[in-house]
């Protein structure tokens, strides 16, 4: 399954009602790619076999998207959000996958 980065950002906005930052996306792409859950190239996110299994496993018993998201977070041992969280720390040393120009293009529809 492949999705454009734009549709991935739209999905994050729909679930959380908040836009991810560029640092959050770069960090997530780096960590999920290294764990072989996804592959990112040319603005496209591809879910790999391990990622598909993670998504399917998290769907069992989930009543809604939020339940499934929480199951994925538990499976990944994701740090829970806290008031001390700062989005600029989300990249955590990961490489830049999305150029500033590409990010500006992706965010343009949300600024209008």
pLDDT reported for residue 101: 95
Domain spans, the chain? 1-78
d(CA 18, CA 40): 22
d(CA 56, CA 53): 5
Which residues contact residue 79 at a Cβ distance below 8 angstroms, ignoring those fewer than 6 apart?
A: none
pLDDT reported for residue 17: 80
Bridge partner residues of 74 (DSSP): none
- The SS3 of residue 10 is helix
pLDDT by residue for the chain (112 residues), tens only, comes to 789 999 988 888 888 788 888 998 999 999 999 999 999 998 999 999 999 999 999 998 889 988 998 899 899 988 777 777 676 677 888 889 999 999 999 999 888 7
d(CA 57, CA 55): 6
CATH number, domain 1-78 = 1.10.10
d(CA 32, CA 35): 5
Which residues contact residue 39 at a Cβ distance below 8 angstroms, ignoring those fewer than 6 apart?
A: 33, 45, 46, 48
């Amino acid at each position: 399954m492949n999705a454009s980065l734009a549709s991935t950002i739209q999905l994050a906005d729909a679930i959380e009602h908040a836009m991810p930052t560029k640092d959050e996306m770069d960090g997530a792409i780096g960590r999920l790619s290294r764990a072989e859950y996804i592959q990112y190239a040319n603005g496209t996110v591809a879910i790999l076999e391990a990622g598909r299994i993670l998504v399917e496993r998290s769907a069992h018993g989930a009543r809604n998207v939020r339940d499934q998201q929480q199951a994925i977070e538990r499976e990944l041992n994701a740090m829970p959000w806290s008031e001390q969280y700062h989005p600029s720390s989300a990249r955590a040393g990961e490489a830049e996958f999305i150029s500033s120009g590409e990010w500006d293009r992706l965010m343009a529809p949300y600024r209008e």
